[in-house]
Structure 1
């Protein structure tokens, strides 16, 4: 049965909402978009519900916190209805992701408020933050680093000439650091936080021992509060989320941290007007920014006053109304896959050629399979990574590929898409998809069908470079009766290609009802 692509087009102007279900607070932003890049914020709401406080101690969302979160979501839902929101996206980060009772929490949110929370990995969080940052700060020149410090984790994205190159996610966040540091005087806590940071591994920071960083960008409510404090000489009047970007010098940051560390959270509220749920975490968050800035030798931190919720808004608008606006994100996803390929395969030319041939076959067979652009991207990535399992060993390398891909977040892919890619890569050889296979069995029925179709195409593409010599540079496919005839643009003899396509064509014949055969040169 053909599978139909799912995107729905919506015309502008359109009202969208984004929700960030974080470890320290829940945030809602509602905006009217005149185009995928032009919008006006209509309302922002922050609910001080600290999911991470119980999760990082007990691995569960406690009953009182769950009820507070549900109350906040009901309020968010009413706000969305009042503003006439058409589309929305709600993302949940580390605290919800790590909670052992997350399934019960997600189900209660869905049944009692009608909202679907999407659990995202750190790589997706970093991508969304970068979308928001780009609306305020140009990242087109040189190397930029975006550091987003949340309650449970910190995401670091390295951006080169406007494209995300590397993403790292670390379970070092303000609430988690505060919990690890324990109790004691504020100054003692700061020393313990510094010790914790020095023991943490941030591989991406080593990249700048001999390289120059153009700019360090900081996001999150804590650095916004610090920036506001730095610019108003002692009166922190909120983040000023629609403010233009500002900069905080690293010496000024250190001085403020030293001043704040001498005060208790209650004294910070009294002296600076901090919110209670900001007063205790601002020092550990600031320490993370100071540590990273020192490691990369940054003199200042740019603060754009945007965050994850802004990126979610933009992503919603682009998905709803302008598929073409996602081209940059698609290219970044491909780049991320190529980076993983090169990490595991010192000779990536075979995988790159197979990916090109698979994409070509996908396009030519579109009338038969009915899949969309997103499925094409998943096929390309699966083709790029289908042999990374050789890094572990050649025997059963298709299964090794599955496990490596399934455990390696890829920028721009959802968890479900990552599992599709892992399964397609697994089935590039040997046994076809089967319900006895755990990774395949766990997919939805629609995703299982996608895997079968994409794996069938991948097997044929892989067969066309069986000897890993990239002799076949192009393929043209045409149906003739019960056969799919392949004309090849190739160098040298085609005997091996004919045998290999015949040997690996069973899955394709089963899915498409056509036997693939090499019929000559193009």
Structure 2
């Protein structure tokens, strides 16, 4: 059953939504559908909440509508596109309902803002589909996008600029991990620019390029000083066009890359030099030639040139040498905004990476008592053996998360659970981690129990020599920590490590019998001993 209702006040600015009532839905499951009615395409995400900062995506669907093209030419939404919009939303609503979504939040952006008849179309959509659409301002759009990006990508304690390049507009946002400091919406969407400057031409002339670049520059220029005053240290980009440029550049740099690695580019950084190389190729080619470019989305073949010029001008004006990519954008921001109202989901976790890891552990019937004990012991071992391993806080944090995740494979089976852990980690969405960091976590899951890390394990082979060395060191430490809770009873309260020339002694403060821990250490100490050239024994404080 579907009915329009007034929303309870949960800190949201939206006055009404559509509630989807599913009698078979479990009361404890918070499932929300977000519908982003963009200028290029419509996107649906249906997600089940894990916490305020984490959710499982149940479904993603996209339809290329190109509504912005019609509005740019006509100034309004014509009958053909009205029917297309209504049919699409009706299909999306059916999908959301089938997955038990308790809420469907539909937001419209630039094309609806520009259309003379948007109010009439919004009313017609609700009459025909039962879905209530809110047309949001550019500033609200930027706020929601920033919420998504800052929950998906680690800013590493810096002020960053975020750019979301859609079909109708470019949203620029500047902020820290926890606060949006400045935002502005520009009419520099790729569909809008293509309609304005290409005018049915198959390829750009030098004059076209000059005119479009000048227009982009002059549009951004009045805001250059105020944006620069925040001294953003890095650029983060989201949405289809920027992700596609990143995918093209990565494909160019690594022509033999496993296509699976291109499916999720979250937290991947691409240098401007690589973007310029592929960008020149895109700009100089006709549509047929562009279709042959590895990584290019065929549905973006006619708008990708505008994306090249917007990104290049933006990076040039603000001096950015690379862009980090975010897979999350407006639709995920909608989900996160809605989840903020559910007190039952709040856990006080303010780290993207921590929230993401905890979301994965909950998904797979996690033994929190053992995992947290192993994490505590692993950090104690790390801190007291710095003179041996020489690693930094970065590696320490990865060890912590690897310890929390190491046994999630038991969700599948106890036997070979190390392999199952690696599989689950590799195939889970871990936000805030670079691909290399995620591969480290996969390797820690795989090698926390037995075996030596080696190139026949694909995630290990993807890492360069320095990262591989890190994995070996961290795996050695994790094995010791895991051994010191072999009973899964947390009998070890604390440890003290005494380091001698070719020998270390781990002194235990333990409650009761720790024979299982002693046995476990004898079985699992060899990797640490081989790696650091030292013997390991136990003592009792």
Structure 1 position 119, deviation (Å): 0.6
Partner residue in 1 for 2:302: 280
Please give the per-residue CA displacement for 1:7-64, whole angstroms capped at 9, x wherever unaligned: 3799753111111101111000111112211211111111010110111121111211
- Structure 1 unaligned regions, length at least 5: 329-522
Counterpart contact for 2:40–2:67, Cα < 8 Å: yes
Structure 1 position 216, deviation (Å): 0.6
Partner residue in 2 for 1:253: 275
Paired residue secondary structure (1:134): helix
Counterpart contact for 1:146–1:218, Cα < 8 Å: yes
- Measure the CA separation in 1 of the matches of 2:103 and 2:8: 15
Match of 2:216 among 197, 200, 221: 197
Partner residue in 2 for 1:392: none
- Measure the CA separation in 1 of the matches of 2:348 and 2:116: 34
Match of 2:240 among 205, 209, 221: 221
- Measure the CA separation in 2 of the matches of 1:22 and 1:239: 27
Please give the per-residue CA displacement for 1:455-504, whole angstroms capped at 9, x wherever unaligned: xxxxxxxxxxxxxxxxxxxxxxxxxxxxxxxxxxxxxxxxxxxxxxxxxx
Structure 1 position 323, deviation (Å): 9.5
Counterpart contact for 1:318–1:326, Cα < 8 Å: no
Please give the per-residue CA displacement for 1:276-328, whole angstroms capped at 9, x wherever unaligned: 43111111122111111111111100102111111111112223556979999
2:288 paired with 1:269? no
- Measure the CA separation in 1 of the matches of 2:165 and 2:152: 18
Partner residue in 1 for 2:80: 64
Distance 1:137 1:104, change over 3 A: same
Counterpart contact for 2:251–2:294, Cα < 8 Å: no
Structure 1 position 196, deviation (Å): 1.3
Structure 1 position 161, deviation (Å): 5.4
Paired residue secondary structure (1:162): coil
Structure 1 position 168, deviation (Å): 0.9
Partner residue in 2 for 1:448: none
2:60 paired with 1:44? yes
Distance 1:114 1:326, change over 3 A: farther
Match of 2:341 among 315, 319, 328: 319
So what's the TM-score if we normalise by structure 1? Answer: 0.57
Match of 2:314 among 275, 292, 312: 292
Counterpart contact for 1:12–1:34, Cα < 8 Å: no
- Measure the CA separation in 1 of the matches of 2:105 and 2:306: 29
Counterpart contact for 2:247–2:296, Cα < 8 Å: no
Structure 1 position 218, deviation (Å): 0.7
- Measure the CA separation in 1 of the matches of 2:224 and 2:94: 43
- Measure the CA separation in 1 of the matches of 2:294 and 2:121: 35
Which moved further from structure 2: 289-298 or 201-210?
201-210
2:204 paired with 1:186? yes
Structure 1 position 249, deviation (Å): 0.9
Please give the per-residue CA displacement for 1:61-83, whole angstroms capped at 9, x wherever unaligned: 12112211111111101110111
Please give the per-residue CA displacement for 1:372-396, whole angstroms capped at 9, x wherever unaligned: xxxxxxxxxxxxxxxxxxxxxxxxx
Please give the per-residue CA displacement for 1:215-263, whole angstroms capped at 9, x wherever unaligned: 1111110111111111122699799665432111111111111101122
Partner residue in 1 for 2:20: none
Q: How many residues align?
A: 325
- Structure 2 unaligned regions, length at least 5: 1-5, 12-25, 351-541
Counterpart contact for 2:236–2:325, Cα < 8 Å: yes
Please give the per-residue CA displacement for 1:74-98, whole angstroms capped at 9, x wherever unaligned: 1101110111101121110010111
| Aligned residue runs from structure 1 range 46-195, under 5 A | 46-139=62-155, 141-160=157-176, 162-183=178-199, 184=201, 185-188=203-206, 189-195=208-214
- Measure the CA separation in 1 of the matches of 2:137 and 2:261: 26
Distance 1:277 1:323, change over 3 A: same
- Measure the CA separation in 2 of the matches of 1:199 and 1:105: 33
Match of 1:29 among 38, 45, 56: 45
Partner residue in 2 for 1:367: none
- Measure the CA separation in 2 of the matches of 1:42 and 1:213: 35
Partner residue in 2 for 1:6: 8
Counterpart contact for 1:122–1:155, Cα < 8 Å: yes
Distance 1:159 1:96, change over 3 A: same
- Measure the CA separation in 1 of the matches of 2:260 and 2:194: 22
Please give the per-residue CA displacement for 1:150-184, whole angstroms capped at 9, x wherever unaligned: 11111111103531111111111111111111334
Counterpart contact for 2:34–2:44, Cα < 8 Å: yes
Paired residue secondary structure (1:251): helix
Give the aligned CA root-mean-square deviation in angstroms: 3.0
- Measure the CA separation in 1 of the matches of 2:265 and 2:28: 25
Distance 1:74 1:182, change over 3 A: same
